[in-house]
Structure 1
């Protein structure tokens, strides 16, 4: 398997993988433009980020309270894999977002008067462990980062007791690690199946006419197996047409297209990321005269896909599930427009993972504001563990960072030509939600062993920083 494909998959699929929703005919309720977030000590500030009162502002915080904290500064680490030679710019939008948000926060006075200093790291896909060791030596915390090979670095993070509010996690030990929080959790033991629930509402025959596209990629296969297991839990039995694509590419895709047509698949799910091979398959399906509807991971919501479809039209009607507000909703969702304005002002890259890193930065800053002058890692772990409803000011559906639980809401977007639009719910800016949008996964798929607190035991030590309840 080509290493650049692994990198794209790892960084993209974890960003917004398998987002979910439901309808009022189930247990669903409509949630308009995310939800409210805790405001912290800076709640009285006139500055806001979407619905979130800014956690940034002047103050009189004092003291060198922990590593990376002085009277006048807080040093955090952040970064991405932008230097990966096989995929230049990998997850660059994450570092761009955090860098821009640091400036945005410092322009307001920092956190309680302490300005934020950022150490930007480039994991370059293969160097996450080296980056983590550097961060262990100088940073207060890691914030909003996304390293595809984070599991290789997890033992160092845990050993040096470095808390993090990650932009995303990939490896199972990183996803379930101690002292780890995310604005958009993706735990190994729970799965948001909103896209599937929405498909059941949109298409009455979805349960009987759906198949899953397979791949030779181990990473894609892991994700696909989880999806197939979830499908069976909700009454969707894949047709098993047997279409398995070589991750390195095929000499031709028409035989696969013919197999899809002969199998009678009316709907196709793919856990793979958009690439030339996937595009060639969809183009071949169109030439073969088959007309399945596509339901894809949120990684397909991109300008790369819309630009391809503008020329081919083979992706018309393609749907993608998301827990983030699409950029097309910026006019009705202030947080999305604000994210775009802040990052564009610094000539940064705009993308979904950038919004995800933004939400994690805001979550970190809100907890830091609550800690006030006594800014310690222990206080941060305490405060972050209390946050059980978070939307990043309206950037995404509510999640539970404190308990490491995913959203139970979602929406679906649809591609026509080179334009995306919200397809479900019909009301622009709303999510659909339900308790049945999250399922428990088979422990055989976790890739790690969890203790009673749902923490990975692989690198766990007795002296990690744990939330204090009193």
Structure 2
């Protein structure tokens, strides 16, 4: 039986995991929001009064007052960043920092937030330095916005200690996903999950009834992949890792790994591992050794590098599930066109994680605007907690940042030559939806405990900012 309904992108908004390689860059914090790179194409018309189907949160005004660390009469200082300095995968998540850098410039060009200029400190956690990044941010920033760090749990004790609210682009660890003072454009809580794209795969491709999970020795990837075991089980599939963990730095005996999957008897593969030379080598070995199975992935594989690697049909037909509208739909989805035009104008790597960071930045900016001269962390927590319907202006399926609830819709694309093609639903702007998010058992929470308000207790203290109401 097919459990679905089709929803048009943005229809509900009228009533908003993940590691990918991009380009190498220098490490370290930067106060220059324009270090995202040169523009690749001629810029389309920039959005001004709106972003997608939202009124622009940026513009002139007369807000004033040094209300909080990082807030003055004239400016608001935020932190943002990625893992672009990770030596094993240079440029990791760089599109996230690039997106926030570009949107800071875009917003300031319109007048900032109520007339206050946005200043940005860009950080590079390089996977292993998220705790140090948070210490630095705690000493100078108003909030962290639109960032994504692979080992984000390491930063949680510092963040909570300094009472730093955060609006990340993504979270991976259970502690960060369920942390206090945390609101995310597209939440990924551990106690529920979106099984929409797994439902599509099992409905449309019977091979996914017995799926082999392609894991990695990266702790961040391993944490993220665990959720997909539950996703597949929820839709009736048998998921197994077949005892395989690819080395993120390469150097595996790929023929032996292919043999393990053959012995495992799987009829499909699924990966959360970032597209990179090691996994391309695995795919080459699979083709040579005759492991002819269908392969699925999440939005980490929606990347120009995957198309570049499609020589000899190496990545042809890989199914890529996502909760965001693909770039190919920019002619039908204004928010996608707006994201691309801002990146074209101000430079930077484009990617799905860039749109994820953008959604969180726009969410933050909208609430900051509403706070006006009373721009405090308390006001931000109060305002963010009330945003229970969000699509980022039409960038993605409806989510609920205020209550930390996941979307339950998605779509499926696949690699076709040198492009991606949306295959389910066939119509641009539509989503495949299940009847709701799936509840994850406590055994899938990564060892954390939750309060009655669904907050992780692991690093929780009595001295945090909570919604006033």
Give TM-score, length-normalised by structure 2: 0.86
Partner SS for 2:405: coil
In structure 2, the residue matched to 1:31 is 8
Q: Is the Cα–Cα contact under 8 Å of residues 190 and 444 in structure 2 kept in the other structure?
A: no
Cα deviation, 1:364-416, whole Å, max 9, x if unaligned, reads: 01101111221111111000001111111111111111111111110011012
1:80 CA drift (Å) = 2.0
In structure 1, the residue matched to 2:27 is none
Q: Is the Cα–Cα contact under 8 Å of residues 246 and 252 in structure 2 kept in the other structure?
A: no
In structure 1, the residue matched to 2:91 is 89
Cα deviation, 1:302-355, whole Å, max 9, x if unaligned, reads: 12211111x121322110110111112222212112111112212211111111
In structure 1, the residue matched to 2:234 is 233
Partner SS for 1:400: coil
| Cα gap change, 1:443 to 1:260, in 2 (>3 Å) | closer
In structure 2, the residue matched to 1:4 is none
Structure 2 gap segments, 5+ residues each: 17-46
1:260 CA drift (Å) = 4.3
Does residue 1:299 correspond to 2:300, yes or no? Answer: yes
Q: Is the Cα–Cα contact under 8 Å of residues 183 and 401 in structure 1 kept in the other structure?
A: yes
1:255 CA drift (Å) = 4.5
In structure 1, the residue matched to 2:39 is none
Q: Is the Cα–Cα contact under 8 Å of residues 56 and 365 in structure 1 kept in the other structure?
A: yes
1:204 CA drift (Å) = 4.3
In structure 1, the residue matched to 2:276 is 275
| Cα gap change, 1:246 to 1:26, in 2 (>3 Å) | closer
1:249 CA drift (Å) = 4.3
Aligned length: 438
**Equivalent-residue separation in structure 2 for 1:124 and 1:56 (angstroms):** 31
**Equivalent-residue separation in structure 2 for 1:126 and 1:210 (angstroms):** 31
**Equivalent-residue separation in structure 2 for 1:367 and 1:80 (angstroms):** 23
In structure 2, the residue matched to 1:12 is none
In structure 2, the residue matched to 1:160 is 162
Partner SS for 2:7: strand
Does residue 1:440 correspond to 2:440, yes or no? Answer: yes
In structure 1, the residue matched to 2:348 is 348
1:90 CA drift (Å) = 2.4
**Equivalent-residue separation in structure 1 for 2:371 and 2:173 (angstroms):** 30
In structure 1, the residue matched to 2:329 is 329
| Cα gap change, 1:69 to 1:335, in 2 (>3 Å) | same
Cα deviation, 1:149-186, whole Å, max 9, x if unaligned, reads: 32222112111111111122233222211111111111
- Give matches, 1:104-183, under 5 Å: 104-183=106-185
In structure 1, the residue matched to 2:37 is none
| Cα gap change, 1:369 to 1:268, in 2 (>3 Å) | same
Q: Is the Cα–Cα contact under 8 Å of residues 195 and 234 in structure 2 kept in the other structure?
A: no
| Cα gap change, 1:376 to 1:218, in 2 (>3 Å) | closer
**Equivalent-residue separation in structure 2 for 1:379 and 1:38 (angstroms):** 24
- Give matches, 1:170-249, under 5 Å: 170-204=172-206, 206-207=208-209, 209-215=210-216, 219-238=220-239, 242=242, 244-247=244-247, 249=250
| Cα gap change, 1:376 to 1:171, in 2 (>3 Å) | same
| Cα gap change, 1:55 to 1:226, in 2 (>3 Å) | closer
Q: Which runs of 4+ in 1 moved over 6 A?
A: none
Structure 1 gap segments, 5+ residues each: 1-22, 40-44
Q: Is the Cα–Cα contact under 8 Å of residues 254 and 285 in structure 2 kept in the other structure?
A: yes
Q: Is the Cα–Cα contact under 8 Å of residues 257 and 288 in structure 1 kept in the other structure?
A: yes
Partner SS for 1:393: coil
1:462 CA drift (Å) = 1.4
Q: Is the Cα–Cα contact under 8 Å of residues 272 and 297 in structure 1 kept in the other structure?
A: no
| Cα gap change, 1:259 to 1:92, in 2 (>3 Å) | closer
Q: Is the Cα–Cα contact under 8 Å of residues 258 and 285 in structure 2 kept in the other structure?
A: yes
Q: Is the Cα–Cα contact under 8 Å of residues 321 and 410 in structure 2 kept in the other structure?
A: yes
| Cα gap change, 1:264 to 1:67, in 2 (>3 Å) | closer
- Give matches, 1:58-69, under 5 Å: 58-69=60-71
**Equivalent-residue separation in structure 2 for 1:319 and 1:417 (angstroms):** 13
| Cα gap change, 1:177 to 1:38, in 2 (>3 Å) | farther
**Equivalent-residue separation in structure 1 for 2:241 and 2:461 (angstroms):** 47
In structure 1, the residue matched to 2:410 is 410
**Equivalent-residue separation in structure 1 for 2:281 and 2:196 (angstroms):** 28
Give TM-score, length-normalised by structure 1: 0.86
Q: Is the Cα–Cα contact under 8 Å of residues 34 and 395 in structure 1 kept in the other structure?
A: no
Q: Is the Cα–Cα contact under 8 Å of residues 246 and 279 in structure 2 kept in the other structure?
A: no
Backbone CA RMSD of aligned residues: 2.6
**Equivalent-residue separation in structure 1 for 2:160 and 2:306 (angstroms):** 38
**Equivalent-residue separation in structure 2 for 1:235 and 1:72 (angstroms):** 56
Partner SS for 1:312: helix
**Equivalent-residue separation in structure 1 for 2:222 and 2:135 (angstroms):** 31
1:447 CA drift (Å) = 3.5
**Equivalent-residue separation in structure 1 for 2:154 and 2:376 (angstroms):** 26
